[in-house]
Copies of this chain bind each other. A is one copy, B any other.
């Protein structure tokens, strides 16, 4: 673990067999898990852990991610995961992530937008200064905007797979761990597509929370190089995403 500036943090990680797919490459869900982990380790390191944030009546909630992938690491590779709490304003915080190979080349890059959700009102709250000042990031008027997933093309042929939220999908707060959305979304694509294609770009927007025991449908359509995704709870959209793909190098 290396400490950089207060708003940056990095740590190394060995990719192991249960974090990879059948091509032996890190899964997107595990990439998110590593990005969330490095953020939490940074927060703990600065005394900004979950308990401290909760003591201010709020919890951090992610609303959007945008990932760009050059190459996913293989089982056995040691990688470096880095995050930066780059910018914030009254209501939104912008955080970046990097995944580096051992030789320093960038394997993946991520951007994310976070809000502070009030436990009392279940609505977005002003970000308490106490939970953001220790990063020593200067406030800004305008945050970078993340690309918003395009409107789902209803004319495309879609595939739908059903999922029941499992006990082991949920966090200590009773909500689904975000990483599971990525598995549901990609699992709706044909296995042969996943085996022969490499994810290049992934944009996801979270709209409504999913809870234990709920039934969701993962709806997907794809071309040779793009895919569109929705997680639905009945008529309610839980999340939407767009992905770009390239043929996988053998």
List the interface of chain A (C-beta within 8 A of B). 16-18, 21-24, 27, 29, 33, 36-37, 40, 161-162, 164, 166-168, 170-172, 174, 177, 179, 183, 186-187, 189, 191, 194, 212-213
Q: In whole angstroms, what is the CA distance A36 to B19 when docked? A: 13
Q: Could you tell me if B23 and A168 are in contact, using CB atoms closer than 8 angstroms?
A: no
> In the complex, what's the smallest C-beta–C-beta distance from A215 to chain B, in angstroms?
11
> In the complex, what's the smallest C-beta–C-beta distance from A156 to chain B, in angstroms?
20
> In the complex, what's the smallest C-beta–C-beta distance from A225 to chain B, in angstroms?
19
Centre residue among A18, A27, A161, A174 by max chain B CB count within 10 A: A18
Q: Could you tell me if A16 and B37 are in contact, using CB atoms closer than 8 angstroms?
A: yes
CB closest residue in chain B, given A16: B37
Which one, B24, B40, B187, contacts A17 given CB within 8 A?
B40
Q: Could you tell me if A36 and B18 are in contact, using CB atoms closer than 8 angstroms?
A: yes
Which one, B17, B170, B183, contacts A166 given CB within 8 A?
B183
Q: Could you tell me if A191 and B213 are in contact, using CB atoms closer than 8 angstroms?
A: yes
> In the complex, what's the smallest C-beta–C-beta distance from A8 to chain B, in angstroms?
20
